Amino acid sequence: MRNILVSLVSGTLFGAGLAVSGMTNPLRVRGFLDLFGTWDPTLVFVMGGAVLVMAVIWQVQRRMVAPFFADAFALPTAKDLDWRLILGAALFGIGWGVAGLCPGPGFAALALAPAQAIIFLAGLFGGMVLFRLTMDN
């Protein structure tokens, strides 16, 4: 039960941060990606803040024996690049640029602009199903 509560609080805080920072506004995200038009630099500060927080957290995590709410850390170990990772990253970037949303802000946008978010999330889940049917081994 405690893990569910921690997940709920963490997800709510993350979603609120996305909403307050403007990441759930597709026009703001597209403005950030429009380097040669009307560039909107505000998301640089959002990303910079996230990088600073994570830099501190990584230092703290290195000194911890175990996480507070789990038995062990689940850190990625893979370091290789393959065509599936590169293709997935490219598709993610194209989708982010076209839709102005990525998965986290897409879910957070359900509270602010449900019609747009539902269309985006339907495409997201459709892509996941298509991947499972065609690429997953």
Q: What is the pLDDT of residue 84?
A: 84
Q: What is the pTM of this model?
A: 0.71
Residues 6 or more apart whose Cβ sits within 8 Å of residue 13: none
How many angstroms separate the CA atoms of 40 and 130, rounded?
Answer: 34
pLDDT at residue number 137 = 61
Q: Are 32 and 41 in contact (CB under 8 A)?
A: yes
List C-alpha distances in Å: 10 to 34, 64, 81, 103, 124.
31, 20, 30, 16, 22
Q: Measure CA of the first residue to CA of the last residue in the chain; give whole Å.
A: 34
pLDDT of 136: 62
Q: pLDDT digit of tens for each residue in the chain (137 aa)?
A: 778 898 899 989 988 888 888 888 888 888 888 889 889 998 899 889 999 999 999 999 999 988 888 888 888 888 888 888 898 889 888 888 888 888 888 888 888 888 888 999 999 899 889 888 887 66
Per-residue confidence (pLDDT) for residue 118, from 0 to 100: 93
pLDDT value for 8: 92
